[in-house]
Structure 1
Amino acid sequence: FTPGPLNTSKTVKEAMLSDVGSRDVSFINITANIRRSLLTIADADSTVFTAILLQGSGTYAIEAVFANALGRQNGKALIISNGAYGDRMAAICKQGAYNYRMIRVDETEPFDLVAIEKELREGGYTLVAAVHCETSTGQFNLIEELASLVSRASDAKFFVDAMSSFGAVPISLKDTRIDFLVSSANKCLQGVPGFAFVLAKISTLESYKGRCTSWSLDLVAQYEALEKSGQFRCTPPTHTMLAFQQALTEHAEEGGVAGRQRRYTENNRVISEGMRRLGFRTLLHDQSPYIITSFVYPKDDHFDFEDFYGRLSKCGQVIYPGKVSSADCFRLGNIGDLWPADCQKLVDHIKDALHDMGVHVPIVY
């Protein structure tokens, strides 16, 4: 019950039982199919956007966008953050000595569009970056509104971290002014860890040629190699991609984004209603609709999170600690190969764990 790496189907795991050469024609075809499928899921025009696969976690792809957009030029990024993953963008820019500024609001609050517009009109920014679903809390940010604001108030390019939303939350690259969107294999598309991908507006990407100061993170060079030969420049994560090919098949069979959205929404309903019956309070007033939910620790002397976590883990129920500075909380994800019956089982185990710990139910705050 984490936001990734997450549960995968047996058939996705079995897809990794074959070995394949990275320069084999069959693998080159799989790479091409993955790239096409990602654009389809994003409702993107293949003459306008391209999909670039990059070895490593989602953070590698996040850093690659900054390295290409801000590397060898006088660009300036505005990072808008209300959580740990927006903060990580700022940490990447600081480490890379890139010119940036961050607008930071509280982890439990939405973006301040008035403040953002003022900063955009005055700041001379060339790139604006934000997280779609802030996985640290479950906060959902209004990317469509922000994209419209960026295009209205500046000439900056717009970069979205859609790590925990892509594949289950509708995002159309035809309808918004997004230049870069990043996600990972092991999130809502239900693959295994090993690579991330950047959906990039081709005209913007090509304008960054020669800017990247990192050889490995050069998105333009990776794009050119994929277009020319269908191959990665360096050894690709072959088994991860075999699993992802199967995961994409299962995503389509479930009904694509809409089908996955329906199941995750039902998962979230079962968890949220069950937790409310136990008396738990959510961290946010307006939670993520169906990705991950943060619950505040009960004010009970018998509640100890490490004990609580351990009891659930022994039952095969793995949850996530909180990742916020303003409150003691834990997170329950409902994405991955999880179904409503699995979610009800989790709620039942939580009730049993609280009882065995001597915590009063319903929870008292």
Structure 2
Amino acid sequence: MVLMNPGPVITDDRVRSALAGPDMCHREPEFSALMTRVRDKVTRVAGGDERHTSVVLTGSGTSAVEAAIGSAVPDGGGLLVLDNGHYGERFAHIAAAYGIRAHRLEHGWATPLDLAAAERALVADPALTHVGVVHQETSSGMLNDVAAVTRIAHAHGREVIVDAVSSIGAERVSLAGDGVDWLAGSANKCLEGAPGLAFVSAAKAAFEGLGTTPKRGYYLDLHRHYLAQEKAVAPAFTPGIPAYYAFDAALDLALAEGWEARHERYTALARRLRAGLEELGLEILLPPEQRAAGLTAVRIPEGIGYAELHRGLRAQGFVIYSAQERLARDYFRLSTMGRMTQADVDRFLEVLAGLLPSQN
């Protein structure tokens, strides 16, 4: 089955084989060594240097975003949410769940961020201590300029929390290079690991500083995880050990390939896919300059509904993904993440053409 959903993705055989690693107790030195390797590799993938580290969580990418928001924004602080899609909106929902004051700057789905408006909001409200922004907005496939957001935030003495769940590994984002303060990511998208692990990367000093702030949560308390993983060299809670095996292998592959080469690989697949879609007369949601390499939102063709399209493609070995909420009626999504090949793209376009009323 060719997975064209934006995670979990098709993985390398070496990653799948790693899932069958030996049974292990998470309180033994063998797991401590595995966890430390994974943390180090994650930090390097996130563009960190000797000043940075990472905390690995057993959970989805959302667990990392929630942990970062709930842990990093102090009592009395506030979060400026740059919202141009479902996952930007999620920042506001998480803040509300924790009782964190948020100012939600709504741009509209699939609309570029207004950086001048973001700066005005920070100037107008000094109590907004943090800015939340999604790097790749998976609801539309839009790539947001987190480096520019970070420059603006830092110019006004604020910190930035970046949701890089769908981008890290195949788009440029860097703790050291861009000055990102808190980066949340996931194992099972552009890093091509198995589902089940997420992470937050930041400066060591930032993790240490969390010890002076009141705790809002328990399982997703980043300082708790940091102390356990950094000081005790052990997990705070029982981790998903098979997912660690797979992530260790996937990170080796990601570091060997490099984000630039992986970006080019995904981009080549996306160009091939998008050109084929347009030849079939299908409309792509975003203009080329706004698109991420790993995801394409496409208007549902006339004369066929999403359910019928999904069913027909799945019968031929392809899994596609519906759009979300306000885009769900008109669009579906296609990922070019993971170990997809050009042959997969070509066969998908052939099968799709056979399902379209306009082509038959």
TM-score (norm 1): 0.93
Aligned to 1:159: 161
Cα shift at 1:137: 0.4
Establish whether residue 203 from structure 1 lines up as the match of residue 201 from structure 2: no
In structure 2, what is the Cα distance between the partners aligned to 1:123 and 1:285?
A: 33
Cα shift at 1:5: 1.2
Cα shift at 1:139: 0.6
Give yes or no for contact 1:69–1:75 (8 Å, CA) kept in 2: no
In structure 2, what is the Cα distance between the partners aligned to 1:335 and 1:35?
A: 23
Q: What is the SS of the residue equivalent to 2:11?
A: coil
Aligned to 2:318: 317
Establish whether residue 101 from structure 1 lines up as the match of residue 99 from structure 2: no
Letter in 1 for 2:133: A
Q: Where in structure 1 are there 5+ consecutive unaligned residues?
A: none
Letter in 1 for 2:31: F
Aligned to 1:236: 239
Q: What is the SS of the residue equivalent to 2:326?
A: coil
Q: Which of 220, 223, 234 is residue 220 of structure 1 equivalent to?
A: 223
In structure 2, what is the Cα distance between the partners aligned to 1:36 and 1:43?
A: 11
Cα shift at 1:36: 1.0
Cα shift at 1:216: 0.8
Cα shift at 1:233: 0.8
Aligned to 2:300: 297
Establish whether residue 178 from structure 1 lines up as the match of residue 176 from structure 2: no
Letter in 1 for 2:112: P
Letter in 1 for 2:14: T
Cα shift at 1:288: 1.9
Q: After the TM superposition, which of the residue ranges 328-337 and 171-180 deviates more from structure 2?
A: 171-180
Q: Where in structure 2 are there 5+ consecutive unaligned residues?
A: none
In structure 1, what is the Cα distance between the partners aligned to 2:237 and 2:202?
A: 20
Give yes or no for contact 2:132–2:162 (8 Å, CA) kept in 1: yes
Q: Which of 142, 147, 152 is residue 149 of structure 1 equivalent to?
A: 152
Q: What is the SS of the residue equivalent to 1:91?
A: helix
Supply the RMSD in Å over aligned alpha carbons. Answer: 1.5
**Cα offsets for 1:7-46 (capped at 9, x unmatched):** 1122211111122221232221111111111122222112
In structure 2, do the counterparts of structure 1 residues 109 and 266 end up closer, same or farther at CA, with 3 Å as the change threshold?
A: same
Establish whether residue 191 from structure 1 lines up as the match of residue 189 from structure 2: no
Q: What is the SS of the residue equivalent to 2:178?
A: coil
Letter in 2 for 1:139: M
Cα shift at 1:324: 4.9
In structure 1, what is the Cα distance between the partners aligned to 2:42 and 2:236?
A: 20
In structure 1, what is the Cα distance between the partners aligned to 2:73 and 2:160?
A: 13
Letter in 2 for 1:159: I
Aligned to 2:33: 29
Cα shift at 1:83: 0.2
**Cα offsets for 1:325-361 (capped at 9, x unmatched):** 156101100001211111111111111122xxxx113
Give yes or no for contact 2:136–2:166 (8 Å, CA) kept in 1: yes
Give yes or no for contact 2:136–2:292 (8 Å, CA) kept in 1: no
Q: After the TM superposition, which of the residue ranges 329-338 and 12-21 deviates more from structure 2?
A: 12-21
Q: After the TM superposition, which of the residue ranges 13-22 and 276-285 deviates more from structure 2?
A: 13-22
Q: What is the SS of the residue equivalent to 1:100?
A: strand
In structure 2, do the counterparts of structure 1 residues 218 and 248 end up closer, same or farther at CA, with 3 Å as the change threshold?
A: same
Cα shift at 1:172: 2.2
In structure 2, do the counterparts of structure 1 residues 11 and 177 end up closer, same or farther at CA, with 3 Å as the change threshold?
A: closer
Q: What is the SS of the residue equivalent to 1:80?
A: strand
In structure 2, what is the Cα distance between the partners aligned to 1:252 and 1:49?
A: 17
Aligned to 2:281: 279
Aligned to 1:54: 57
**Cα offsets for 1:61-114 (capped at 9, x unmatched):** 11111111236x111111101000011111111122211110010112100111
Q: What is the SS of the residue equivalent to 2:104?
A: strand
Cα shift at 1:304: 1.4
Q: Aligned residues, how many? A: 352
Establish whether residue 10 from structure 1 lines up as the match of residue 13 from structure 2: yes
TM-score (norm 2): 0.94
The residue correspondences of 1:326-341 to structure 2 (distance < 5 A) are 326=327, 328-341=330-343
Establish whether residue 67 from structure 1 lines up as the match of residue 70 from structure 2: yes
In structure 1, what is the Cα distance between the partners aligned to 2:177 and 2:246?
A: 30
In structure 2, what is the Cα distance between the partners aligned to 1:30 and 1:232?
A: 11
Give yes or no for contact 2:174–2:180 (8 Å, CA) kept in 1: no
Q: After the TM superposition, which of the residue ranges 62-71 and 327-336 deviates more from structure 2?
A: 62-71
Letter in 1 for 2:214: R
